[in-house]
Amino acid sequence: MINASSALKIVLENAPLLAVENVSLLDSLGRVPSHDIIASQDLPPFNNSSMDGFAVASSDLRRASAKHPRTLKVIGESSAGRAFAGKVTSGQVVRVMTGALIPKGADAVVPIEKVVECETERVRFLESPKPGQHIRSRGEDIRRGQIVLKSGMPVTSAALAVLAACGYSRLRVRRKPRVSILPTGNELVGITEKPKRGQIRCSSSYALAGYVEGAGGIPKLLGIAPDTKSRLRKGIKAGLDSDVLLVT
């Protein structure tokens, strides 16, 4: 008897690739792309703040502490979708919101909870921030040019977000395989029938159909084939125009 992994290998080596369809991003869920998908840009696309607070040059606050607070000047605001256009230089900070672009010259974010705000224009810092703190760096999740989804790997919900972030609104995917299921056996009757003595309802084909659907195929239940040569031949013939024929 042939073992399962050898059988799978033979099947995969002999299975032709299915035709390619161009579908909308949402419709690609659970489908398999026909080619490797490459990140078209760095993600995140720019250094941005992971906290509401102040973007600072960490060197400016190297000696700041509760005993020796340092007061810096607020020169502007960077909010999500409205970036601060200027540059942070010594003695200056920019108010930042979560997700906002980190202005030039700044290399750390001090969360709003950690500062004593004296006036709208001036802020007192009680701690020395580490360079890079509370900053999500450009490309720290994904680098431009990196493969984000390999050909033949199913598109997951999480992958949808990455693909959307990269601007893929449509995807080339393989068409779903059509899988015919042929239940065979003299003991089988249809599920709406009442089985006589020694008969059972044809049930496993429904489970198979469910698994096919769950795996991204299109199941088709063929009628029951009793154990005679001619009826089996007829059933098998009916399933041969599918991509896969499962005979139970």
Binding residues for its own copies (CB under 8 A): 25-26, 29, 44-46, 48, 78-83, 99-101, 156-158, 160-169, 185-188, 191-192, 194-195, 197-211, 213-214, 219, 221, 226-227
**Residue whose CB is less far from its own copies, 54 or 125:** 54
CB of 65 to its own copies, least distance (A): 30
CB of 201 to its own copies, least distance (A): 5
**Residue whose CB is less far from its own copies, 20 or 164:** 164
**Residue whose CB is less far from its own copies, 69 or 105:** 105
CB of 100 to its own copies, least distance (A): 7
CB of 9 to its own copies, least distance (A): 25
Handedness of CA 84, 85, 87, 92 (dihedral sign): negative
Which burial class, exposed, middle or buried, applies to 159 when counting CB atoms under 10 A from its CB (0-12, 13-18, 19+)?
buried
**Residue whose CB is less far from its own copies, 101 or 182:** 101
| Long-range pairs for 162-170: beta carbons < 8 A, 24 or more residues apart | 162/39, 162/43, 163/25, 163/28, 163/37, 164/25, 165/43, 165/45, 166/37, 166/39, 166/40, 166/41, 166/43, 167/40, 167/41, 168/25, 168/37, 168/40, 169/24, 169/25, 170/22, 170/23, 170/24, 170/25
**Residue whose CB is less far from its own copies, 126 or 165:** 165
CB of 195 to its own copies, least distance (A): 6
**Residue whose CB is less far from its own copies, 61 or 181:** 181
CB of 181 to its own copies, least distance (A): 11
Residues 148, 168: contact at Cβ < 8 Å?
no
Q: Characterise 91 by phi-psi region: left (phi > 0), alpha (psi -120 to 50), beta (else).
A: left
**Residue whose CB is less far from its own copies, 159 or 245:** 159
CB of 131 to its own copies, least distance (A): 22
Angle made by CA atoms 121, 125, 128, in degrees to the nearest 5:
140
